[in-house]
Chains A and B, each alone.
Chain A
């Protein structure tokens, strides 16, 4: 598979996870009996998007990242690997588990229980925050490669 296409697919599914978690958060704020099925369906979509993004990322990271890593470390932004990539690759393990847990968290009585809503709000909020962090970190890693190529 083409290298840029792998990265684009990774970003696409990561953004779907991000947007889906925001949907779940907002929908849960006003959960009613008629919207619970939709909240649960979107939460499953969030988990699926995250799993696809994660598997694509794992394939790319293990098979292709070594060349980019070498470039970044020789360039002006070595921290784009030393801190950003290293932190990202481990934070996303927690993000994967949170996204996997989101459909389980939505199994409570969302239409009638404040505590069930609170759990989903916190879980979807954490997914959103970590996904946004991962997305931002990905952009910094990409910039780390670009600035390294620019000074080459």
Chain B
């Protein structure tokens, strides 16, 4: 559990005492936090396709 000083410091850095920020696009309303999560998912998806898997080349070379 954070002590009151810790809570005050965290509150000063991350001020959550306001309504959520929302992205409006036509009929679509998304909170900024959800937009960030969707962006990270797209990034992870792209990296999962692009990055080589450890040992994949060796296995495909026939030394399974």
A and B form one complex = no
Residues of B at under 8 Å CB distance from A? none
Residues of A at under 8 Å CB distance from B? none
